[in-house]
Amino acid sequence: MENDKCIKELIGVLGKNVRQVDELIMEKTTGKIEYPNLFHYTSIEGMKNIVIKNNLWATDYRFLNDAQEMLDGNNILMKVLKSSEHYLLNTLCERIDIEGLVTTNYINPHILSFCSTNDLLSQWRAYGGESEGVCLEFDLFTSYLSADKNSWSARGHLVPVVYDDLIKEEIIVDIMKSLEVQLLSVDITNEYYKGLSEYDQNYLIGLVWSAFVVPILSFKDKSFKEESEWRAIFLPSKDEIENLRDFRTSNGTFTPYIEAFVTKILAGGIAENILLPIKSVCLPPASGNSSHHGLNLFLQKYGHKDDNAVNVYRSSIPLRSKQAIHW
């Protein structure tokens, strides 16, 4: 970036508002700015890895189950921005190549999925199995998720997924109007922008577009609504992703992921990874007359005891299984 006073001022303005977009998504979707307890459905083997390693895995967005990831949101973004009176915003989508940005590691979206509903039959069948999975409850009210406790860019944006097309548009419109005000507040007018070098124009385009990345990653087609999903969205930098990225194998595919830890700000402003705040474990609908004993011993071995004790209970769904298990 060339030494441009207005652009530097805009960076400062946008930096102060980095969490406002997350709060806007929460307020528009749930009517309040509040983190509920969230649930994560996984296999028993998945839970074993989560507890032993004390972390969760956020998957590269290109490997998720929605083939329209990011595209649904980008289509709405293009539609709304055409109405902007600011030339930069009006032409933004024409200058952004999402596939190219991801391919070159300019952006590296990774997603960790939760559910706002516990004991949901469709989630048991999709992720945990009717008799071999678990539903973990997490309390993230006083902590945050991060792939690197020392990096703000690797911190997760925890937001509800937006399924309603009207709400999606409202969110984009609100961000667009806010950006119009912020651009003019630092004297970046249409004429000023057009007079910049191509380098500075491209830098500004990337800077402004970054305000829309979390929203479009939180938008999903309404056919997925039953999932009641919340997402932790991670956007590690190009330099960070090389060290953070790891791989797991499934169905003959190498799937990229990054490890997400629960981090808390301790006395003195020091960020520290803490024990995963697991509040409960729900056993699956068809778990039979399972004993909790082995599961409780396992949790206790890895620190979930005393003040960190976990409530273990069985699903209330009356589902008969062909192959019930008995722990």
Sort 287 into a burial class: Cβ within 10 Å, 0-12 / 13-18 / 19+. Answer: buried
Cβ-contact 162, 168 below 8 angstroms: yes
The per-residue pLDDT string of the chain (327 residues; one tens digit each, 9 = 90 and over) reads: 444 788 888 888 888 777 899 999 999 999 999 999 999 999 888 999 999 999 999 999 988 877 677 888 888 998 999 999 999 999 888 888 777 777 777 889 999 999 999 988 888 877 755 567 899 999 998 899 999 988 888 899 999 999 999 999 999 999 999 999 999 999 999 999 999 988 888 889 988 998 999 999 999 999 899 999 999 999 998 899 999 999 999 888 999 999 999 999 888 888 999 999 999 999 887 665 555 788 889 999 999 999 999 999 988 887 665 554 444
Report the Cα 48 to chain-centroid distance in Å: 22
Q: What is the pTM of this model?
A: 0.91
Domain ranges of the chain: 5-314
CA-to-CA separations, 46 to 11, 106, 167, 280, in angstroms, rounded: 40, 30, 34, 16
Cβ-contact 231, 118 below 8 angstroms: no
Closest CA to 173 of 70, 68, 89, 87: 89
Rg of the chain over Cα atoms, rounded to whole angstroms, equals: 22
Closest CA to 129 of 44, 245, 20, 17: 44
